[in-house]
């Protein structure tokens, strides 16, 4: 039964509380020899086992996620087949043929998914248009730091639906619509005036007919009186 090696230089992450604890080793002399005592921080997991430390197998590739549909890009770094199963992910980026640089915290968000025998780290990138950065994943493990064999270029974020554009001939359509409305109004006014004129003519004709009949009746009465 042995302790996992290099506890004094490894940072462990609690899989439940996602807290980071540090291991500090203190040494003192016992009968001319050296003995070590490990002091563990809160959230540290200690594995006591006779198994050998196995470095993780690291692979990285683009990840399809809901964030991709929201205009962001995402990369997935997968660490598997390691012992002990605790790892930490970090990312670096390179612009074209430039040197590797640390990823600024404001330009990316990191998530972790843990399953039996493997751990996945997801990097959500607020990528700008025409970005030429390539990203490399690093996995820190008890057996040492392992980096992905290849750099990954993030896919372009999904294009959102462009806003509806007004047709190029909209002014012409608006002008035609206004012209049509004006013509309708003119025709309506003409019809209204025509109706009023017809009514006036009917009224005048009716009034004239009544007057003629009245005068004719008066003449007939005068003849009978004579």
pLDDT tens digit sequence for 186-204:
888 888 888 889 888 888 9
Q: What is the spatial distance between Cα 37 and Cα 25, in angstroms, rounded to a whole number?
A: 6
Whether residues 68 and 130 fall in one domain: yes
Residue 162's alpha-carbon distances to 158, 165, 166, 172, 198, in angstroms, are 12, 8, 12, 24, 58
Tell me the mean pLDDT in the region 79-105.
88
Does the structure show a pLDDT above 50 at 1?
no
Whether residues 73 and 132 fall in one domain: yes
Whether residues 147 and 64 fall in one domain: yes
Tell me the mean pLDDT in the region 106-120.
87
Whether residues 121 and 66 fall in one domain: yes
The confidence score (pLDDT) of residue 88 equals 92
> The CATH number of the domain where 82 resides is what?
2.60.40.10
- ∠157-163-167 over CA atoms, to 5°? 135
Query: 114 versus 161: which is more confidently predicted?
Result: 114
Mean pLDDT (the chain) is 73
Whether residues 134 and 198 fall in one domain: no
Task: Give the start-end residues of each E strand in the chain.
Answer: 2-3, 11-13, 20-30, 33-40, 48-49, 57-62, 73-80, 88-95, 101-102, 108-115, 118-125, 133-141, 144-147, 152-153
Is residue 166 domain-resident? no
The confidence score (pLDDT) of residue 225 equals 58
Tokens of 67: 């964030």
The confidence score (pLDDT) of residue 16 equals 35
Tell me the mean pLDDT in the region 168-177.
66
Whether residues 17 and 40 fall in one domain: yes
Residues 6 or more apart in contact with residue 194 via CB below 8 angstroms: none
Domain boundaries, position 220 = 182-226
């Amino acid at each position: 039964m042995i302790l996992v090696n290099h506890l004094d230089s490894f940072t462990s992450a609690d899989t439940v509380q996602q807290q980071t604890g540090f291991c500090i080793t203190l040494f003192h002399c016992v009968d001319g020899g050296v003995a070590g005592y490990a002091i563990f921080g809160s959230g540290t997991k200690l594995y006591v086992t006779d198994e050998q430390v196995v470095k993780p197998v690291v692979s990285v590739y683009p990840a399809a996620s809901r964030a991709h549909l929201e205009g962001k890009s995402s990369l997935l770094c997968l660490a598997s087949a390691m012992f002990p199963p605790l790892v930490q992910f970090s990312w670096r980026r390179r612009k074209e043929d430039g040197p590797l640089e640390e990823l600024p915290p404001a330009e990316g968000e990191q998530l972790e998914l843990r399953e039996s025998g493997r751990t996945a780290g997801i990097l959500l990138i607020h990528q700008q248009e025409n970005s030429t950065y390539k990203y490399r994943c690093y996995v820190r493990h008890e057996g040492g730091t392992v980096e992905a064999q290849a750099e990954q270029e993030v896919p372009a974020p999904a294009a959102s639906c462009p806003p509806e554009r007004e047709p190029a001939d909209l002014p012409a359509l608006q002008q035609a619509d206004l012209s049509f409305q004006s013509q309708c109004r003119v025709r309506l006014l003409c019809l209204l005036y025509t109706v009023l004129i017809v009514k006036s003519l009917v009224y005048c004709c009716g009034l004239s007919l009544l007057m003629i009949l009245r005068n004719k009746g008066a003449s007939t009465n005068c003849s009978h009186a004579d």
